Amino acid sequence: MASVITGMNPTAPIRTEAEAEAAAKASAISIFIGVIAAGVSIAWSLANPAAMQDAVASAAGSDVNAEAAAMGAQFAIYLSGGLAVIQLIFAIVQWRNPGKWIAILFLVLLAYGILSTAATPLLASSVPNMPTIPTWQIAVSLAVMVVQVILHVAGLRGINALDKLQMDAAR
């Protein structure tokens, strides 16, 4: 366990194959953090269906009835749950066999997430009837995504070092 914690440090030197494998697993840990965050969001949405319906109704405008808002909120919950399951599958695959393409894919998705989350207050002020997201929620989301980026960078370092060490051993 200590080697995995050490491997999460993106500046730690990687000397052995065990250290490289521990560092490579940091990418999977980052994805697991995303799964946990999605689970919390889904749980909150299930616990507060009225708030979800109000958000969908206010975003859609005045021409949406309560049934359509309820269907929209339910669809959003199902979509979020499905994406969380797909993310969990990626996390398990990354834990068992760390790969560059998964880490790079999630780095790109995190970059998009950071940009869109940072732009949320600007969009909320420019679109009429758009529900506002509390500043603390935006700050927490940004902090979690920055931690995930750091873990993916550490994971990529570990994956590259693991590939290099295994190629050197094969020669």
Assigned domain for 75 exists? yes
User: Per the domain annotation, does 136 fall within a domain?
Assistant: yes
The model's confidence at residue 116, banded by pLDDT at 50, 70 and 90, is very high
Buried (b) or exposed (e) across 126-142, using 16+ Cβ within 10 A?
A: eeeeeeeeeeeeeeebe
Is there a domain that residue 7 lies in?
A: no
* Residue 166 within any structural domain of the chain: yes
- DSSP sequence for 81-113: HHHHHHHHHHHHHHHHS--HHHHHHHHHHHHHH
Q: What percent of the chain has pLDDT over 90?
A: 43
Is 1 domain-assigned? no
What integer is the mean pLDDT of 124-131? 70
Q: Residue 55's domain spans which residues?
A: 18-170
User: Cα 103 to chain center, whole Å?
Assistant: 11
42-93: pLDDT as tens digits: 888 888 777 777 777 666 666 667 777 677 778 888 999 999 999 999 999 9
Q: What backbone phi and psi angles, to 5 degrees, belong to 134?
A: -60, 145
pLDDT per residue as tens digits for the range 157-168: 999 998 888 888
Residue 10 lies in a domain: no
Total structural domains in the chain? 1
- What pTM was estimated for this model as a whole? 0.84
